[in-house]
Structure 1
Amino acid sequence: MVKVSNRQKPHGKVSSFKNTNYQFDIAADKMNLDESMRVLLKTPFREVTVQIPVRLDDGRLVVFLGYRVQHNGARGPQKGGIRYHPDVDLDEVKALASLMTWKTALVDIPFGGAKGGVTCDPTQMSSLELERLTRKFISRISIVLGPYRDIPAPDLNTNAQVMAWIMDEYGAHYGHTPSIVTGKPLHLGGSKGREQATGRGVVFVIREAARDFKLDLKGATMAIQGFGNVGSNTALLAAEAGSKVLAISDVQGGIYSAKGLNVSKVLEHAKRQGSVGGYREADAISNEDLLELKCDILVPAALGGVITKLNADRIKARIVAEAANSPTTTSADEILNDRGIHVLPDILTNAGGVTVSYFEWVQNLQQFQWEENQVNSELEKIMVRAYVQVREVARKERVPLRTAAYMLAIRKVAEAEKLRGNEPLDPRISSTILQKRPIR
């Protein structure tokens, strides 16, 4: 494998944002990107932190912290999900917002990147508490949102119901605006095909890569870590394509069957029991052991940072398809690359969700709903086109797929910044201060 950079890797406990910018710098080095443009593209446009006081059902008042980071809007309104999790912090949200900038540019939809989150444990909150939390959060950040400014979407531990609350709360301040948020219920302007979009996009990218690597998706073995929206739909669609899903896991553990799992039955069990654990037609397996199973395709579809330098040497899959955001650390990425394991990068592999979110936004603005077959057909075109472009750059530049994906995305965003007038006039002058654009 070709070494693409001698840049020092982050080590020890490193921030998510630094890890993301490390991947950016590898691609920027390859492109000889001007230093002032690097500062412009790496620095978030706006970071918002708010207090969210919420009255719980037992009468206690608890103050949560919420974040919204708008990374870059050169190519269009910022776009990105809102997540609820105990580990949410500003650093993570900044990293995820930057990934959205590169993701939307890579698949060539007219958005920039944003992300939001609240530090909370939604599993310990009632539906009414979550609604109060959501409404208060949106009321506090609504000034930086808008259908032509920043459009939220579902993410970890948020769903269509949460998006409905967001739409309603925003509407109470600014009037009925379905295009303010995507991932909504169908009855409130959601798009057909949105729920399966990320998983469907994952399978499209795996299918194209498998062909290039002389692997038939029909009969290919697969292990999937994570059985939320993305993991479950990836499993269902991969099984429909003829793949043998050997193992599935969620936060409580996993299950394994050498003969292959009946994904539909596993999904029914998980809905009844709240977890895949205890499924009688399979053996128990830990999340850690699942990652190291011998299989053709490994799909990390849960949290970030699960493939590290501590286990990368034991990964036995031929292809790692990053359905989660940042599941592979920088050190592990280099190990997998050196071992000849093909990593399908997150900014490509899981871009199906934001792509169909774009379709939903367009439908809301047009006040016209597409049929599901049109949504899926357009999604396939975009995902296949993006994969082919990444593959060709990787071959031409002799770089891994991740570096190729970043190079493509960075080039598009940099060109948009230049067209807006932010072109360095003298390559010898490096700008270290990013002037914030005012709210329009």
Structure 2
Amino acid sequence: MDHLSFISPTRNSPWGTYLAQVEATLPYLGKLARWAETLRRPKRALIVDIPIELDDGRIAHYEGYRVQHSLTRGPGKGGVRYHPEVTLEEVMALSAWMTVKNAAVNLPYGGAKGGIRVEPRDLSLKELERVTRRYTSEIGIIIGPNQDIPAPDVNTNGQIMAWMMDTYSMNTGATATGVVTGKPIPLGGSLGRVAATGRGVFVIAREAMRRLGLPLEGARVAVQGFGNVGSVAAKMFVANGARIVCVQDHSGTILNEQSLDMARLLDHVALHKGVAGFPGADAIDNENFWDVQSDVLIPAALEGQISAERANRLRTGLVVEGANGPTTPDGEAVLAERGIPVVPDVIANAGGVTVSYFEWVQDFSSFFWTEDEINVRLDKILVGAFKGIWETSEQHRISLRTAAFTVACTRVLQAREERGLYP
């Protein structure tokens, strides 16, 4: 199979990881496997230049991307991240994982993703706004409420979504609240959206633990990444009787063998912008995070974290992927050999896109639900989706990841076959 001419992936690079995951799914697709090449190629990849004037009068240029992997089941859906290491290959892989994630949960979306190669911490608020508005104008030719709906991701938030929505609306001449999700509540945002991804991680972890016979009460949990996803998941674990013993973020790694005081830690992070220096824990080397004993490990930072070498060192009973693509194929092979189950990202962190779907629906209808209604609907969808994936895993005796890809890719390729090719 020839690779895309502009990408040369390695086995454990983001796109290479995705391709390996698709390859593992092929034996379970039956006659639909004839369409599998459509999974290996993004439908559309847009690279844009983003020039802005900095506060000091200098002109700066940043590179931005929007990739639509598949629009077969509906509009593209996926976040936008601001990070100095964003690449086209990474965004391609993230868009493909969104295709799988949306289909795994059976949302009426395809997969898309966006990003800007920038360190947002180096920009003033006004510079950040200029970058966001220029980026939105550049990708405006392919986004829209019925075409492709961006959302927050790494280093982006409700304010950035508000700027994107406003820019798109100004350029099209009508307020279009449904062009993005993850917006502030006054602009058509949904209650429960901010906590949705972290909540979903907990819900899926709870379901997996129940099926594996791992007690939640008193469970030792280690969390990598303490942003919106990791911190919300940690709070929900503690609220349900588990103990958070180790947390790592961009500032460092902290350990308390008994339990971290979650309320005090959240206050510390809000004040100091990181877990480093928290007085209720010991600081340990970042690499030693992978040696901490736990019942549940939640990688909720960036992709490619659990390599084969780290997988050999893990002392945990279950990995639940809060981030996108945190386990490399070589790392997952080691975990399989060691009998450590992995709940894949495409179901574990699908809470965010599920409530994004709720927000999109509410924007179209101009009728909004209560947070309790949101959470009940979210839990029902995630629990049902996980049940189907678990049963597929048991039926074929395959990993949860391959089962999730089998369920999702079957839905995508069935839609592709029934739509046919045009012209």
Common topology (TM > 0.5): yes
Give the corresponding residue for 1:134. Answer: 132
Paired with 2:33 and 2:371, the residues of 1 have a C-alpha distance of 44
Give the corresponding residue for 1:116. Answer: 114
Query: Would the aligned equivalents of 1:225 and 1:287 in 2 still touch at CA under 8 Å?
Result: no
Query: Would the aligned equivalents of 2:13 and 2:304 in 1 still touch at CA under 8 Å?
Result: no
SS in 2 for 1:197: helix
Compute the displacement of 1:71 (Å): 0.5
Give the corresponding residue for 1:153. Answer: 151
Paired with 1:44 and 1:138, the residues of 2 have a C-alpha distance of 20
Query: Would the aligned equivalents of 1:82 and 1:153 in 2 still touch at CA under 8 Å?
Result: yes
Deviations 1:284-318 (A, max 9, x none): 12332122211100000001111001111111110
1:185 aligns with 2:180: no
Paired with 1:91 and 1:373, the residues of 2 have a C-alpha distance of 38
Query: Would the aligned equivalents of 1:225 and 1:291 in 2 still touch at CA under 8 Å?
Result: no
Deviations 1:28-64 (A, max 9, x none): 1333455641111221111100100011111111111
Query: Would the aligned equivalents of 2:178 and 2:364 in 1 still touch at CA under 8 Å?
Result: yes
Q: 2:49 aligns with which of 51, 60, 74?
A: 51
Give the corresponding residue for 1:427. Answer: none
SS in 1 for 2:46: strand
Query: Would the aligned equivalents of 2:32 and 2:413 in 1 still touch at CA under 8 Å?
Result: no
SS in 1 for 2:275: coil
Deviations 1:213-269 (A, max 9, x none): 111112111000001110111111111111100011111111110110111210110
Deviations 1:380-412 (A, max 9, x none): 001101111111000000101000000000000
Query: Would the aligned equivalents of 2:72 and 2:412 in 1 still touch at CA under 8 Å?
Result: yes
Give the corresponding residue for 2:339. Answer: 340
SS in 1 for 2:194: coil
Paired with 1:304 and 1:227, the residues of 2 have a C-alpha distance of 15
Query: Would the aligned equivalents of 2:12 and 2:330 in 1 still touch at CA under 8 Å?
Result: no
Give the corresponding residue for 1:125. Answer: 123
1:377 aligns with 2:376: yes
SS in 2 for 1:143: coil
SS in 1 for 2:64: strand
Give the corresponding residue for 2:201. Answer: 202
Residue type at the aligned position of 1:68? R
Give the corresponding residue for 2:211. Answer: 212
Pairing of 1:87-106 with structure 2 (within 5 A)? 87-106=85-104
Paired with 1:95 and 1:364, the residues of 2 have a C-alpha distance of 29
State the TM-score, normalized to the length of structure 2. Answer: 0.96
Structure 1: 5+ residue stretches without partners: 1-9, 423-434
Give the corresponding residue for 1:390. Answer: 389
Compute the displacement of 1:418 (Å): 1.2
Paired with 1:286 and 1:381, the residues of 2 have a C-alpha distance of 40
Query: Would the aligned equivalents of 2:222 and 2:244 in 1 still touch at CA under 8 Å?
Result: yes
Pairing of 1:62-77 with structure 2 (within 5 A)? 62-77=60-75
Paired with 1:34 and 1:12, the residues of 2 have a C-alpha distance of 26
Distance verdict in 2 for CA 1:13–1:287, change over 3 Å? farther
Paired with 1:207 and 1:13, the residues of 2 have a C-alpha distance of 31
Deviations 1:93-138 (A, max 9, x none): 0000000000000001100000000001111111111100000000
Query: Would the aligned equivalents of 1:236 and 1:263 in 2 still touch at CA under 8 Å?
Result: yes
Distance verdict in 2 for CA 1:33–1:68, change over 3 Å? farther
Pairing of 1:161-310 with structure 2 (within 5 A)? 161-174=159-172, 175-310=174-309
1:360 aligns with 2:371: no
State the TM-score, normalized to the length of structure 1. Answer: 0.92
SS in 2 for 1:195: helix
SS in 2 for 1:260: coil
SS in 1 for 2:169: helix
- Between stretches 58-67 and 11-20, larger displacement belongs to 11-20
Query: Would the aligned equivalents of 1:104 and 1:112 in 2 still touch at CA under 8 Å?
Result: yes
SS in 2 for 1:223: strand
Q: Which structure 1 residue ranges, 4+ long, deviate > 4 Å from structure 2?
A: 10-14, 32-36
Give the corresponding residue for 1:431. Answer: none
Paired with 2:159 and 2:279, the residues of 1 have a C-alpha distance of 32
- Seq. identity, %: 45
Residue type at the aligned position of 1:404? A
Give the corresponding residue for 1:143. Answer: 141
Query: Would the aligned equivalents of 1:223 and 1:291 in 2 still touch at CA under 8 Å?
Result: no
Give the corresponding residue for 2:5. Answer: none
- Between stretches 120-129 and 30-39, larger displacement belongs to 30-39
Residue type at the aligned position of 1:357? S
Give the corresponding residue for 2:3. Answer: none
Compute the displacement of 1:12 (Å): 6.2
Give the corresponding residue for 1:413. Answer: 412
Residue type at the aligned position of 1:126? S
Give the corresponding residue for 1:425. Answer: none
CA RMSD, Structure 1 to Structure 2 (Å): 1.4
Residue type at the aligned position of 1:24? V
Compute the displacement of 1:11 (Å): 9.6
Query: Would the aligned equivalents of 1:67 and 1:118 in 2 still touch at CA under 8 Å?
Result: yes
SS in 2 for 1:65: strand
1:312 aligns with 2:311: yes
Structure 2: 5+ residue stretches without partners: 1-7
